[in-house]
Amino acid sequence: MRDLGAGLRYLGRGQQWVLTHGRWFGFGLLPALITLVLYAAALTALGFWADDIATWATPFADDWGTTGRALTRGVFAVMLWLGVLMLAVVTFAAVALLIGDPFYEKLSEQVEESEGELPEGMVEESLLRGLWTSLRDSLYVLLRTLLFTIPLFFLGFVPFIGQTVVPVVGICVSGFFLTLELASVGLQRRGVPVRERLAMLRRRKALALGFGAPLVLAFLVPLLAVPLMPGAVAGATLLVRDLVGAPPAPGPAMGGPAPQGLPPAYGMPQYGQPGAPR
């Protein structure tokens, strides 16, 4: 429960940070706005084609009665659109981060500096190399996400469970992977490989869910993802400092002291340095 509350506090502190640093708030809006336009167009197109896709995917229902055929295909179309919507929520951050990589990298660095200092041994990459690394890691996260979302999609057709348990599990899964995507900005800076990032958050599932699940629900509200994205990056940066056991900023931190991080083995020295964990 402590980690769950800590994740929620990091989300709030991130939003507070960008609101008190207006320049960086505006700095992070444009990539999120571009991403929202692209996703809105894709979801609108899917809405128009959902019935045709449902007909193509359920040829076994061709000989059924009108009511049974319409109900089956209607449920399929709705579940397809909702499934893609949940996937869009998870991948929204990844696409926005790719589009706005230089913007969000700078924003994240400013958050770290305001909390004390940037990590020692920071990994420096060229813009193209950084974009390639981000794209490769995002594809890895997407494949892991699909391992959960595809079974959940089909479980959505199970009566009662599909309308109660599955949506809750879907939000939790989406929240976990959304946190992973957002935390990648700070963890990539430290040279932490994507598989280790996943392992770190698995050890702190409640922290990841406390941060990501409320953000998923907020991202489902039309247009809300755009103003929340800069603060989400800032909050994830603060969360990363908890994960790696970074020292707190001198003096009282904004929003109260940060919770305890991982043991020192997961803080300094940095990945890639002698004695660092592998």
pLDDT digit string (tens) for the chain, length 278 residues? 788 999 999 999 999 999 998 888 887 888 889 998 998 898 888 888 888 888 888 888 887 888 888 888 888 888 888 888 878 887 888 888 888 888 898 899 999 988 877 666 566 666 677 778 888 888 888 889 888 888 888 888 788 888 889 889 989 999 999 999 999 989 988 888 999 999 999 999 999 999 999 999 998 887 888 999 999 999 999 999 988 876 555 544 444 444 343 333 334 344 444 444 43
Provide the pLDDT for residue 258. 40
Provide the pLDDT for residue 211. 96
Provide the pLDDT for residue 128. 74
Provide the pLDDT for residue 216. 92
Q: Where are the domains of the chain?
A: 2-40+88-245
38 phi and psi angles, rounded to 5 deg = -65, -45
Whether 253 contacts 259, CB under 8 Å: no
Q: What is the pTM of this model?
A: 0.75
Tell me the CA distances in angstroms from 243 to 10, 62, 154, 252, one per residue in order.
12, 53, 34, 19
What are the structure tokens assigned to 72, written together?
A: 């089956």
